[in-house]
């Protein structure tokens, strides 16, 4: 693999179900991010991790959790999905924390629909 991969590509989920979106990068980047993209609202940061073993809350963290057990993987979990979590989810990574002058590399995205 090269870059960032996300799985699944798309998913339709019943409300109340638990779901984990997977993200893997092979660039050995320290920082990783989860964004959701909704029409008219741009990209909003859900959670981030500046280095393996640490995580932080972004702009819209409620209803989501993350873990960073190693450098490569950064899964995003919806404990009990709700329709307002219908969105396109992008995982991204950067060599160091993005605000510190580092570009972000994005995965292909996961389109999630919660019914």
Partner 1 sequence: GQQVMQIPQYQHVQEGEDFTTYCNSSTTLSNIQWYKQRPGGHPVFLIQLVKSGEVKKQKRLTFQFGEAKKNSSLHITATQTTDVGTYFCAGGTDTDKLIFGTGTRLQVFP
Residues 49 to 108: which contact partner 1 by CB under 8 A? 50, 58-59, 90, 92, 97-101, 103-108
> Cβ of residue 90: shortest distance to partner 1, in angstroms?
6
The answer to the question of residue 15 lying near partner 1 (CB under 8 A) is no
Considering only 74, 109, 112, 114, the residue that binds partner 1 (CB under 8 A) is 109
What whole-number distance in Å separates Cα of residue 111 and Cα of residue 90?
9
3-state helix, strand and coil shares in percent for the chain, rounded to the nearest 5:
5, 50, 50
- Exposed, middle or buried by CB within 10 Å (0-12, 13-18, 19+), for 2? exposed
Contact positions vs partner 1 (CB under 8 A): 35, 40-45, 48, 50, 58-59, 90, 92, 97-101, 103-109
């Amino acid at each position: 693999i090269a870059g960032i991969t996300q799985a699944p590509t798309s998913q339709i989920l019943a409300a109340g179900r638990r779901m984990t979106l997977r993200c893997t990068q092979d660039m050995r980047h320290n920082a990783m991010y989860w964004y959701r993209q909704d029409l008219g609202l741009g990209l909003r940061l859900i959670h981030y991790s500046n280095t393996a073993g640490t995580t932080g809350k972004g702009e819209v963290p409620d209803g989501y959790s993350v873990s960073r057990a190693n450098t490569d993987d950064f899964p995003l979990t919806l404990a009990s999905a709700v329709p307002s979590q219908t969105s396109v989810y992008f995982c991204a990574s950067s060599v160091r924390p993005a605000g510190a002058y580092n570009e972000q590399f994005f995965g292909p995205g996961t389109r999630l629909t919660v019914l």
